[in-house]
Each structure stands twice: as structure tokens, then as C-alpha cells.
Amino acid sequence: MKEIADPVIETECGADYVPLLTALKLGQWEEADQITRDMLIWIGGENTRKRGFVYFSEASKLPAKDMKTIDRLWTTFSEGKFGYSVQKQIWNSVRVKGDFNLFVQEIGWTQGPCGGCDAICSGCTGTLKRWTAIGAKGNEFVYDLKNAKKGHLPLTSALRGTYLL
């Protein structure tokens, strides 16, 4: 892997981005995805830390500098393949045509067909992939820079129905 300079890290809440930077730098995409989830909870504040997740109503209140830092880390170390800004570009390109289902199909969060037919067709976006904790069997997402679709990671672009894009 070629040497990439560390991007600028800014935080409004004193977050430590070294673990995320390290995982991304080493190409440990699944680990980086989990760290990203943990960081969103941490930067969400005391209440999100206590409960262990971010409510949809809190998503828009996540610190902008921190969200940009997370995105910058992902886009830098994936050479522009992963990150929230990449997902947003894809979302903006498909939302005119339809809905969130087209977006998840475009970034590889579906597998098809849905079971009702033998091919993904115009009315079918396939079945959503299943996520499991790191190391658990059954995870259907792709944690590989070469084989994942553009925008596939991080998996946290939606929190309980609210888009972070």
C-alpha cells in the first residue's frame, strides 16, 4: 500500500481519532467501520454514550467538524472509494430516480434477487444484507477495498431511519 499523508484531524468535542486513523491506514475496514460506529456514539455526547446508540433526532446535532474528520479519514485512506461524502454523491445521483432502495442497491448493501423473482428487476432492489458484530458468522457486507462497491462503507450513513448524508 502506498504511503498516504495523514489528513487534518479536527474535533469539537476532544475525540481521539487515532484508533480510526490507524485501522484505516492499515486497511482494516471492518474494524474501522466498528470504530466509526463507536465514534458516532462518543461524539453524540453523554446521553448517547450511556445508551449506546444515537437517536435519529440527534443525528443532525453531531458535531460538524467531527463528522468531516471521520469522512476525511475514510475518503483519504480508501483513495476516494469510501466515506460519507462519497455516499452523499451517490445518493444525490440516484434520489432523483427513486428512493433509498436505489441507493442501497448502488452501494452494494443488497443482494438479489429478493426471492419473489429470479432477477433484480425495476421493481425489486433485492434483499438487504445482514450485519453482524465483528468476527460473527453471517456478515454479508464487503470489507475489502478492491471488491466493495464505491460508497459501500462506512455502514453508518443511516441511523435509525435518519440519513447522515
And the C-alpha cell for 124? 425489486
Short-list 69, 68, 44, 38, CA closest to 57: 44
Backbone angles phi, psi at 106, to 5 degrees: -60, -35
CB atoms under 10 Å from CB of 115, counted, come to 9
Question: Per-residue confidence of the chain (165 residues) as pLDDT tens digits?
Answer: 567 888 889 999 999 999 999 999 999 999 999 999 999 999 999 998 998 888 878 888 999 999 999 999 999 999 999 999 999 999 888 876 656 778 888 888 876 554 444 444 445 555 555 554 555 455 678 899 999 999 999 987 554 444 454
Distance CA 43, CA 29 (A): 20
Short-list 71, 148, 55, CA closest to 109: 148
